Amino acid sequence: MHQPQGFHQGNSDLVFKLRKAIYGLKQAPRAWFQKLTVTLLQLGFTQAGSDHSLFISTSSTTSIYILIYVDNIIITSNSSLAIQNLIQTLYQSFSLKDLSKLHHFLGIKVNSDNAGGIHLSQTKYLTDILDKLNMSTAKPIKTPMAPSLKLISDSTQVCHDPSLYRSVIGFLQYLTITRPDIAYTVNKLCQFMHNPFEVHCKATKRLLRYLKGTLHHGLHYKSSSDTEIMAYCDSDWASDQDDMRSTSGNCVYLGSNIVSWMAKKQRVVSRSSTEAKFRSLASLVTKIQYIQNLLSELHIKSSQPPLI
């Protein structure tokens, strides 16, 4: 073993101490987050219990919210001066790059409108997927899944490339961040990742054709003071012909803006459609409780009890 450049030769009886966190090893993100957390807590921020990557600082006139994903940071506040002061303070402890107003974050494009709302989309991410799969010139279709299609694991034709199938499903899972309309279809296709057949590959191709025709779809959030929580849920009883389990689906609105959605197979077999719906309702209630806790930490009070 040789000393790195810049060290004096000699002292062969000494050892090197490796600071693992700065060499891009597995503990690096954890070490960075711990350091950033300590700094923010010293600056008077509170770490949210509902989401440990969210930090909150409020006063009588100013509220600042920080959202962290590894080394990506979003800062928002009702005071632009407070944001600039915070950035200057963080410059004293970290080497930062200020990208100004938020336009892209983790593959999500953020567009602001004149009314104070924002539009979230993954158009570029989806375009890259279609190009990679040679689907950019595919003929669009109007629905993500054939209404009468019942996917099962028993089929005569095996998928010719299971690895590609799994990769595509992984891409589509990330796309559901801004596309609630494909959540149910992606959930169904995910259930066959361990052993896909040709029928599942064809269903995936149909979904990609649907996405080709809805390339610019996304989420639009209006600027509103309405904090009423309204939620919907349903289930399809024994829709899985392999194990007879049901699939739950729900979505939650804050005012007129959708903030949460889900499609997930239930863990146990329901003996009736009523039981399946109650399980879906129970899952939704726990989600609403989480959202209420998060809103409470953000100092946002709902105008009235949630409506399901």
DSSP for 241-304, written as a single string: TTT---EEEEEEEETTEEEEEEEEE-SS--SSHHHHHHHHHHHHHHHHHHHHHHHHHTT---SS
Pair 51, 36: CB distance under 8 Å: no
Q: Per residue in 13-22, pLDDT tens?
A: 666 676 666 5
By C-alpha distance, which of 23, 21, 96 is closest to 66? 96
Pair 306, 288: CB distance under 8 Å: yes
Instruction: Give 60's pLDDT tier (boundaries 50, 70, 90).
Output: confident
By C-alpha distance, which of 282, 217, 211 is closest to 250? 282
Q: Where does 43-79 have alpha helices with state H?
A: none
Instruction: Give 28's pLDDT tier (boundaries 50, 70, 90).
Output: confident
Give me the mean pLDDT over the 129-155 stretch.
91
Give me the mean pLDDT over the 28-39 stretch.
88
Q: Where are the domains of the chain?
A: 20-100, 121-213, 224-297
Instruction: Give 240's pLDDT tier (boundaries 50, 70, 90).
Output: confident
Q: What is the CA radius of gyration of the chain?
A: 24
**Model confidence, pTM:** 0.85
**Cross-strand pairs, 110:** 120
Give me the mean pLDDT over the 10-34 stretch.
71
By C-alpha distance, which of 240, 232, 237 is closest to 275? 237
**Rounded to an integer, what distance in angstroms lies between the CA atom of residue 297 and that of residue 46?**
9
Mean pLDDT (the chain, rounded): 91
HSE (side-chain half, CA atoms, 13 Å) at 156 = 0
Give me the mean pLDDT over the 39-57 stretch.
95
φ/ψ (deg, to 5) at 64:
-125, 135
Q: Is the pLDDT of residue 23 over 80?
A: no
